[in-house]
């Protein structure tokens, strides 16, 4: 029995050491491996997949998916932890069983005295949880070598029991940890069930995670295979997500540009909404102003029609009176001629009677001569006593005086008009036929006489020289007042000129001259301007001193026929310095010298106005010839008498005088 002692000791020591080492190593390795692998795999996979998936679909969905996958991975980690704890507990139970078996073998190998001492020393050991000695054994009186040799296994037995107690405590703690793990698993299952309401892909991932956790509880190689498959699918998903990320980036850029466009449209809409009410108010104001202008225009048109009707009636009456005066004047001339002839015949008869009486040596018979003279004088008296000739002459004189008074009361130009803008009758030089002109009473201090207007090309300006002299067009639209009227308006040298232009871009231009003079017809209506100012260049400086050219009369200095080429009359020098009367669709031009280019004129208006404080020069009018003819008759005595004198009774012989002469 002696050799059994060291063998039992070595067996117990080896079993205890192997039990402690295996338990410690298995616990440490299982805990470290399960925690490290689960945490590393869950963090790496969840972070990579959640980042890629969030870029592909959206932040909310990626967070949900990452949460679900993190829960699943945590579930897997807890499952692995539970699996490790279960394995360690099984291993611990196996080691405990092997220790108990070894202990029983050791107990059987001990001698009876040792077993009795061991049983006496520990009489009531019921279980490993509450193993308390009944009484303290008395110390040995005299230990012998055999006793010492048998006490060593007893000390190892106490160590084994202490380790078993520690293992039991650790087993209880493991069971408590397993209970907590189960609770956490239960909570995770609830969370996973709540997350199962997410899209089907999340459900599949959660199911896969549950399958993985369930499979991990049974077999670790299958779990590793599933993990490898998941890694492969993760790589493929990462590639797909990377491709989708680029597509999503393009879509995001497109979405950003679309949002910018939408913001721009919203800003434009806001601006339009803000500008609509002022525009509506402006339109309402313009409509009201237009209605007022139309009403004033209708009134002015009615006034103009009335004035034109009155003028036509006056002109008709004047023409009738002029015709009657002409006929009366012709009749008076005939009567005067007849009286003169009768007087001459009477004088010749008297002279012949005197000569005959002288030759016969006795006075001539008075009765025949008296009868002849009486008949002639009676004829003359009959004509002279006609009351129609003086009456007609007086009536003609009254009409002429009334007409001259009306013309004298008319303003010479628009500066003498008192009223609003419109058409007025003026006597340009205080004499001659009146002219209807449009007056601008709003520009500056008013008083402008408009002589030309171009606006829409409705009037044909390709006219002859005589038509430009008389004028043409509609005063309310496009027109040319006439070169004759321009000469009458500007002949005294007191008119200033204003040229208003509007180009095709809506910009306004202005050229003003302190003095403008248009010559008479026999001088070709020569133009003279001076004293320029304005923002349009002095284009008329090239044309001052030029005669007026028309398509049928070339008076320019160019080798070409400017008026014919540009289909309009003007004071051309070398054609294109200024041309406001050309064909409208060919373009009206005004040369801008400072920019060396032409203004593309769309509208034009030329006006003249009397300068303030200008003293008019007297207008030289041609002398009028008398309508009464003067006839000189040589008498035998060398005297002379006129028809006018005869009308007044001077130089005409009365019947008594003839009788006395004959008797003498």
Convert the pLDDT of each residue in 237-252 to its tens digit.
788 878 878 887 888 8
Query: Does 332 have pLDDT greater than 80?
Result: no
Res 193: pLDDT = 73
Which tokens sit at 157?
């037995």
Range from 5-14, 99-108, 223-232, 546-555 carrying the lowest mean pLDDT:
99-108
d(CA 259, CA 612): 66
Task: Enter the CATH code of domain 410-610.
Answer: 3.90.215.10
Query: Does 630 have pLDDT greater than 50?
Result: no
Q: Which of 16-25, 126-135, 555-564, 642-651 has the highest mean pLDDT?
A: 555-564
Q: Please give the average per-residue pLDDT across 403-423, as a whole number.
A: 86
Q: Which of 320-329, 345-354, 627-636 has the highest mean pLDDT?
A: 320-329
Res 66: pLDDT = 58
Tell me the percentage of the chain whose pLDDT exceeds 70.
Answer: 58
Q: How confident is the model at residue 124 (pLDDT cuts 50, 70, 90)?
A: very low
Going from N- to C-terminal start, the domains of the chain cover 4-131+148-218, 235-406, 410-610
Q: Please give the average per-residue pLDDT across 397-414, as a whole number.
A: 82
Cβ pair 601, 501 in contact under 8 A: yes
d(CA 610, CA 82): 117
User: How confident is the prediction for the chain on average, in pLDDT?
Assistant: 72
Residue spans of alpha helices (H) in 361-387: 366-384
Comparing 330 with 421, the larger pLDDT belongs to: 421
Find, among 655, 651, 643, 467, the residue nearest to 552 by Cα: 467
Range from 207-211, 421-425, 501-505, 581-585 carrying the lowest mean pLDDT:
207-211
Comparing 22 with 414, the larger pLDDT belongs to: 414
Helix 59-109 crosses helix 200-218 at what angle (to 10 degrees)? 10
Q: How confident is the model at residue 219 (pLDDT cuts 50, 70, 90)?
A: low
pTM given for the model: 0.40
Q: How confident is the model at residue 229 (pLDDT cuts 50, 70, 90)?
A: confident
Query: Does 287 have pLDDT greater than 90?
Result: no
Angle at 428 between CA 425 and CA 430, to 5 degrees: 100
User: Coil, strand, or helix at residue 449?
Assistant: strand
Q: How many CB atoms lie within 10 A of CB 526?
A: 17
Q: Please give the average per-residue pLDDT across 530-541, as a whole number.
A: 92
Comparing 110 with 248, the larger pLDDT belongs to: 248
Res 660: pLDDT = 34
Cβ pair 437, 453 in contact under 8 A: no
């Amino acid at each position: 029995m002696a050799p059994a002692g060291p063998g039992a000791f070595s067996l117990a020591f080896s079993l205890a050491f192997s039990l402690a080492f295996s338990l410690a190593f298995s616990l440490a390795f299982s805990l470290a491996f399960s925690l490290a692998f689960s945490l590393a795999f869950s963090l790496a996979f969840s972070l990579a997949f959640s980042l890629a998936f969030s870029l592909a679909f959206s932040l909310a969905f990626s967070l949900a998916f990452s949460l679900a996958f993190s829960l699943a991975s945590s579930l897997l980690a807890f499952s692995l932890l539970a699996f490790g704890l279960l394995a360690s507990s099984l291993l611990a139970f196996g080691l405990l069983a092997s220790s108990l078996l070894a202990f029983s073998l050791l107990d059987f190998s001990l001698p009876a005295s040792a077993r009795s001492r061991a049983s006496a020393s520990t009489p009531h050991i019921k279980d490993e949880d509450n193993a308390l000695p009944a009484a303290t054994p008395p110390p040995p009186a005299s230990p012998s070598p055999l006793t010492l040799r048998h006490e060593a296994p007893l000390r190892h037995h106490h160590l084994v029991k202490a380790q078993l107690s520690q293992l039991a405590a650790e087993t209880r703690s493991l069971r408590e940890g397993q209970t907590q793990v189960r609770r956490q698993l239960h909570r995770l299952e609830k969370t996973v069930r709540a997350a199962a309401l997410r899209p089907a892909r999340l459900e599949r991932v959660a199911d896969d995670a549950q399958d993985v956790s369930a499979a991990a509880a049974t077999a670790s190689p299958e779990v590793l295979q599933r993990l490898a498959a998941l890694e492969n699918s993760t790589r493929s998903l990462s590639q797909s997500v990377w491709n989708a990320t680029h597509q999503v980036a393009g879509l995001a850029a497109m979405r950003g540009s679309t949002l910018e466009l939408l913001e721009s449209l919203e800003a434009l809409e806001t601006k339009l909404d803000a500008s609509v009410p002022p525009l509506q108010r402006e339109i309402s104001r313009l409509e009201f102003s237009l209605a007022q202008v139309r009403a004033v225009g209708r009134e002015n048109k009615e006034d103009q029609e009335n004035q034109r009707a009155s003028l036509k009636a006056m002109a008709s009456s004047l023409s009738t009176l002029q015709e009657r005066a002409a006929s009366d004047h012709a009749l008076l001339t005939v009567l005067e001629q007849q009286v003169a002839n009768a007087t001459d015949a009477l004088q010749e008869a008297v002279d012949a009677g005197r000569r005959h009486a002288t030759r016969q040596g006795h006075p001539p018979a008075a009765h025949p001569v008296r009868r002849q003279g009486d008949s002639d004088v009676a004829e003359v008296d009959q004509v002279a006593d006609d009351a129609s000739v003086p009456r007609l002459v007086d009536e003609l004189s009254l009409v002429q005086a009334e007409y001259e008074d009306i013309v004298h009361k008319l303003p010479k130009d628009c500066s003498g008009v008192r009223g609003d803008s419109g058409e007025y009758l003026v006597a340009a030089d205080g004499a001659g036929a009146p002219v209807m002109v449009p007056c601008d009473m709003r520009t500056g201090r008013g008083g402008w006489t408009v002589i030309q207007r171009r606006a829409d090309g409705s009037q044909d300006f390709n006219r002859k020289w005589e038509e430009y002299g008389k004028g043409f067009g509609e005063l309310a639209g496009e027109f040319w007042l006439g070169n004759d009227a321009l000469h009458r308006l500007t002949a005294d040298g007191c008119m200033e000129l204003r040229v208003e232009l509007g180009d095709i871009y809506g910009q306004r231009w202005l050229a003003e001259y302190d003095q403008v003079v248009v010559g008479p017809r026999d001088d070709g209506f020569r133009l003279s301007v001076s004293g320029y100012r304005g923002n349009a260049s002095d284009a008329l400086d090239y044309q001052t001193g030029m005669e007026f050219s028309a398509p049928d009369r070339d008076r320019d200095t160019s080798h070409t026929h400017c008026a014919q080429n540009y289909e309009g009359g003007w004071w051309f020098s070398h054609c294109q310095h200024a041309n406001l009367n050309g064909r409208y669709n060919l373009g009206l031009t005004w040369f801008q010298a400072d920019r060396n280019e032409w203004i593309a004129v769309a509208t034009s208006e030329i006006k003249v106005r009397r300068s303030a404080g200008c003293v008019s020069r007297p207008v030289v009018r041609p002398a009028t010839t008398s309508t009464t003819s003067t006839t000189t008759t040589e008498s035998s005595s060398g005297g002379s008498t006129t028809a006018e004198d005869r009308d007044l009774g001077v130089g005409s012989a009365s019947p008594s005088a003839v009788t006395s002469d004959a008797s003498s």
